[in-house]
Structure 1
Amino acid sequence: MPPFQRAVITGACGGLGQALARQLLDSGAKVALVGLNLEALQSLAKLAPERCRIYTPDVSNAAAMQAMAADFLQHWGVPDLVIANAGVAGGYETADPADLAVMRRMLEINLLGVATTFQPFLSAMQHSGQKGALVGVASVAGWRGMPGNGAYCASKAGLIAYLQSLRAELRPTRLTVHTISPGYLRTALTAGNTFAMPGLLGPDEAARDLLRGVAQGREHIVLPRRIGWLSRALSLLPARWHDRILLGQPRKPRAHQAGATPIPGLSHPHDKT
């Protein structure tokens, strides 16, 4: 019997989410593939069509996510693994009023989207009396703010705090809450980066380490572990020194710049140029 039998994965269209889905399907699990790229999800579902259900809601839309969960619960029952992986990234400039829309949308997807993913399954998972895991994909970028990356860092720092709160609330139950802090993964979100990415990890290896860690009950998982050690070492420096090091690095492309990754649902003046 596989470690997980019924799983829900948001952001399953590519990168880490797709790698997680492939490995879970290979293990024999039934998997809900949640994402916005229907064609990519349909291609992924061909691996095991009888064990896949495809959903294309906006993760920040609570009603759409509740409808997705209701369909899953009706057809396959209570999941034992829910992975809130959907996320977006991009540079941010506080002085530019147009970038306020970037921050709003990033918070909606990266932070609110995790709550809307967990919420419709939580009662059913608690009442089932079975073991279950809730997994939130945060980032080492949530450990400390970085110049030009304020929106993303804020969304991931908020997510880490939210997962801490949820973990404490669920201690008396058989549900576990897992905080995943990737460093740099080789995905579309990092493809446009022009700065050094130490510890760059492929999505397949990251997915394997994530699933193994969750199955072992590890509440905090850094991918790869060495990037966590590097981040913690830098955090020991005086803040001024740390800031000076980061200021010397190229910044992540903003929404209107070359190399930026699209942010679904973003509507602001940069889109019109």
Structure 2
Amino acid sequence: MGLHNTYYRNAVVTGACGGFGQALARELIASGASVALVGMNRPLLEALAALAPERCAVYQPDVSDASAMQAMAADWMARHGAPDLVIANAGVAGGFETGMAEDLAVMRRMLEINLLGVATTFHPFLQRMLSSAQPAALVGVASVAGWRGMPGNGAYCASKAGLIAYLQSLRAELRPTALTVHTVSPGYLRTALTAGNRFAMPGLMEPDAAARALLRGVQQGREHIVLPRRVGWLSRALSLLPARLHDRILLGQPRKPRAGQAGATPIPGLVSEQKASE
């Protein structure tokens, strides 16, 4: 059952052209909200905006570019006012090997998008949301991969672990206000980010179901939302194992494709270390 009743009136969704982002946008649009659709694929974003042209706008900034995000926020708030929901969903994933020089650029770009991009998403809205004194929510999409490092996935795990810590800090700072902070930790969602995975994905969840669960959880005031919950239980159970045994189990799994390998997902704005130094 959808959330097509009184819900958030004004939402911002980054990564709105990914599978999860599209599902979130569709659910919010169907509920009657005005939605700022932020992403890199204009045709997909425009198709979403066509569902409610009078309530949607399309933006294509680099989420790690603070000036571009401030311009986006200023335009949206001039049209629709301060949002009561901001979902920082934009993210990239990919395998990583410290010994490969070209992968250092992958790590830098992943941290820029997955970690810095959340702060640059929240920043331009924060003061207006606080000054409204109305209940509102900031949502950061992290991952269960941020709970523990995994072989061949160091950049992604580090970016999501950093995000979880950042959201904890922000939540503590905003306790005295009407603005809440929510950490979402998906396991495996059936999206382009997992399409190239060559390992088992327990609890694989459809993005539409995940979007509804996220929005319900935020509406219910849950500060930590795991999608699906059983993946969180499995991850916690594995964490009880001795570290050497835990690592041995993970080392036996196929690794996520690195940038440039078959099945790897694109990383927007990725520049190799060699080119960056020229």
**What's the TM-score once normalised by structure 2's chain length?**
0.96
2:72 equivalent in structure 1: 68
* Distance in structure 1 (CA, Å) of the matches to 2:195 and 2:273: 24
Structure-1 residue corresponding to 2:162: 158
Paired residues of 1:80 and 1:125 also in contact (CA < 8 A): yes
1:206-245 → structure 2 map (5 Å cutoff): 206-245=210-249
Aligned partner of 2:190: which letter?
R
Answering whether residue 143 of structure 2 is matched by residue 139 of structure 1, we say yes
Task: Determine the C-alpha separation between the residues in 1 that align with 2:180 and 2:65.
Answer: 25
Residues 139-165 of structure 1 show CA distances to partners (whole Å, capped at 9, x for unaligned) of: 000000000000000000000000000
Question: How many Å apart are 1:267 and its aligned residue?
Answer: 1.4
Say if 2:10 and 2:83, in contact at 8 Å, map to a contact too.
Answer: yes
Contact 1:111 1:156 in 2 (8 A): yes
Q: Are the counterparts in 2 of residues 256 and 270 from structure 1 also a CA contact under 8 Å?
A: no
Q: Is the 8 A contact 1:12 1:33 kept in 2?
A: yes
Residues in 2 aligned to 1:269 and 1:66: alpha-carbon distance in whole angstroms? 28
- Letter paired with 2:198: T
C-alpha separation in 2, matches of 1:168 and 1:14: 30
CA distance in 2, matches of 1:165, 1:267: 31
Deviation >2 Å, runs of 4+: none
Paired residue type of 1:141: A
How far 1:270 sits from its partner (Å)?
A: 9.5
Distance in 2, Cα, partners of 1:232 & 1:128: 39
Kept in 2, the 8 Å contact 1:255–1:270? The answer is no
> Does structure 1 conserve the Cα–Cα contact (< 8 Å) formed by 2:153 and 2:256?
yes
Cα separation, 1, equivalents of 2:213 and 2:40: 25
User: Cα offset for 1:3?
Assistant: 1.6
Determine whether 1:54 maps to 2:54.
no
1:19 aligns with 2:23: yes
Within 2, Cα distance between the matches of 1:45 and 1:126? 27
CA displacement at 1:30 relative to structure 2: 0.2
Correspondent of 2:251 among 247, 267, 271: 247
* Cα displacement (A) at 1:220: 0.1
Paired letter, 1:94: T
Give the AA of the match of 1:57. Answer: P
Equivalences for 1:178-217 in 2 at 5 Å? 178-217=182-221
Q: 1:101-129: CA deviations, max 9, x gaps?
A: 00000000000000000000000001111
Q: What is the CA distance between 1:46 and its match in structure 2? A: 1.1
- Give the alignment partner of residue 92 of structure 2, picking from 88, 92, 95: 88
Is the Cα–Cα contact under 8 Å of residues 69 and 121 in structure 1 kept in the other structure? yes
* CA contact 1:31–1:53 (8 Å) conserved in 2: yes
Match of 1:28 among 22, 27, 32: 32
CA RMSD of aligned residues (A): 1.1
The equivalent of 1:39 in structure 2 is 43
Conserved? CA contact 2:104–2:273, under 8 Å: no
Cα drift, residue 269 of structure 1: 6.7
Q: Unaligned stretches of 5+ in structure 1?
A: none
Question: For 1:204-256, what per-residue CA distance to the aligned partner results, in whole angstroms no more than 9, with x for missing partners?
Answer: 00000000000000000000000000000000000000000000000000001
| DSSP 3-state at the match of 2:87 | strand
Matched residue, 1:121: 125
Which residue in the other structure is 2:268 paired with? 264
Letter in 2 for 1:51: R
Name the SS for the 2:193 alignment partner: coil
1:194 shift after superposition: 0.8
Q: Percent identity?
A: 78
User: d(CA) in 1 for partners of 2:270 and 2:18?
Assistant: 20
